[in-house]
Amino acid sequence: MLMTPQQYEESLRQLNLVVYMFGKRLDNVVDNDIIRPSLNAVAKTYEMAQRPEFEDIMTATSHLSGEKINRFTHIHQNTGDLVKKTKMGRLLGAHTGCCFQRCVGMDALNALSIVTYDIDQAKGTSYSSRFLKYLSYVQEKDLVCDGAMTDPKGDRSLPPHRQADADMYLHIVDETADGIIVSGAKAHQTGAVNSHEIIVMPTIAMRENDKNYAVSFALPSDAQGIIYIMGRQSCDTRKCENSKIDVGNLKYGGHEALVIFDNVLVPWDRVFMCREYEFAGALVEKFSSYHRQSYACKVGVGDVLIGAAQTIAEYNGAQKASHIRDKIIEMNHLNETLYCGSIACAAEGQAEPSGTYCVDTLLANISKQNVTRFPYEIARIAQDIAGGLMVTLPSEADFNAPETGKWLEKYLRGTPEISTQNRMRMLRLIENLTLGTAAVGYLTESMHGAGSPQAQRIMISRQVDLGKKQQYAKNLCGIQDEEN
């Protein structure tokens, strides 16, 4: 069943989440001014799945039930699915101008479909059948899943079992007939309080001493013992000012949270890895590869920023200047290069033993490495074109005040045919995308989401066959390897 945006909102109202923000527990997450834009962004994934013109991109056919499902709950069956995933990310990024929060759960589902099968083949366990039963439930209900991988980590120089506080990595503390009891936290959880389910995975490869940290499971987001503490974003309280201009992006946004697991019981039928430490690294690698492909969403947000830069150039009367035209060309060059990387790793994907298709790991890491750089340059150029008024612009209240409004209307107008208010709106959007709340999703998330830049460089070094490249060179210049 495809859920409608209205049904999605109502489903969140039925949850009993424990959420704190600014030191107080929230009694209504759905209608909170700061959280609501992020809910709207998720709701957009439901709305667009209902529209015939986006059906091919936004929906898929379940390999389990044969029913039409939202692509965010789909397990990739071929490279065409992987390519459509990239296109979906760009499409939604362009329609929301922010993170729409469902990619992490989609990537967790696909990674688990591979690794649970692999564990079963090696260990004789039954994780895959548990997972597929859970997947059927997610698909049937069209649920939002929060994929939770990143642990607080504590002292980065020490492995999990040597931390002064064992909870720096989420871990198993007890085992009962009903399930396992876990303790710890997951950090930087995008869209956490907009989710129905939370899927936990280990954050690094493990050795035997760390086996209690090699755990993966899924729980309802309002399970007893789960606590959410909302993260702050730049300019976040502007959303509470009832301004139709100062927020920049009037409807959509994102959020992050620290998610606490305070001795939480996980029923056995929701456990997908339990101390199989040999497979923790494989789960991290598969998830990371999928999620690094997912940063095609930044291409969609880049489309918005390029459009805003072109528009403000026109509002400023500078659009015909050769250096402005060249800067717009460079923004498009960088943005389309990002798209190329995501498409390439999808097109070069291969089937895993489970039957699930996974992206090309090397190309996925190359794609994400570019994402850690290019959006920053795109944002810099946009700020250059916008001019300093982007960060010195008075508030909407000043424009509306009789004492000051007339002066602002007079002195902050650009070209005569464009209203001062429209110029202000476009400047605020660029500010939002490059400095404000959306910058968390566009810039900081581009840097640290799906692993820091160094994580991709490590994977690139592992995946590249340097010996083969050396042999190509030696062959062409007539070098034969000498015997030692």
Burial of residue 154 (CB within 10 Å: 0-12, 13-18, 19+) is middle
CA distance 265 to 279: 23
CA distance 236 to 36: 12
- Are β-strands 271-274 and 197-200 bridged in parallel, bridged antiparallel, or unpaired? unpaired
Catalytic residue among 134, 295, 315, 357: 295
Look at the block and give the residue holding tokens 């209902």: 50
Catalytic residue among 98, 99, 345, 358: 99
Catalytic residue among 98, 297, 345, 358: 297
| 256 catalytically annotated | yes
| 345 catalytically annotated | no
Q: Are 218 and 261 in contact (CB under 8 A)?
A: no
| 376 catalytically annotated | no
Amino acid identity for residue 430 in this structure = I
Taking Cα atoms as reference points, which of 172, 275, 129, 284 lies closest to residue 214? 275
CB atoms within 10 A of CB 235: 17
Catalytic residue among 74, 95, 171, 291: 291
| 278 catalytically annotated | no
**CB-side exposure of 109: number of CA atoms within 13 Å?**
25
CA distance 442 to 297: 9
Catalytic residue among 9, 197, 396, 445: 445
| 361 catalytically annotated | no
Catalytic residue among 197, 256, 396, 431: 256
CA distance 253 to 482: 61
Taking Cα atoms as reference points, which of 373, 375, 341, 374 lies closest to residue 360? 341
> Read out DSSP for 318-353?
-TTSHHHHHHHHHHHHHHHHHHHHHHHHHHT-EE-T
CA distance 340 to 362: 14
| 169 catalytically annotated | no
Taking Cα atoms as reference points, which of 457, 299, 241, 443 lies closest to residue 366? 457
Q: What one-character DSSP code corresponds to residue 215? A: E
Helix, strand, coil distribution of the chain in percent, nearest 5? 55, 15, 30
Query: 374-386 and 420-434 are packed helices; what angle lies between their axes, rounded to 10 degrees?
Result: 160
Amino acid identity for residue 99 in this structure = C
| 276 catalytically annotated | no
CA 1 vs. chain centroid, Å, equals 24
Catalytic residue among 103, 145, 345, 358: 103
| 295 catalytically annotated | yes
CA 425 vs. chain centroid, Å, equals 27
Q: What one-character DSSP code corresponds to residue 441? A: I
CA distance 268 to 252: 37
Catalytic residue among 59, 73, 116, 190: 190
Residues acting as catalytic residues:
99, 103, 190, 256, 291, 295, 297, 445
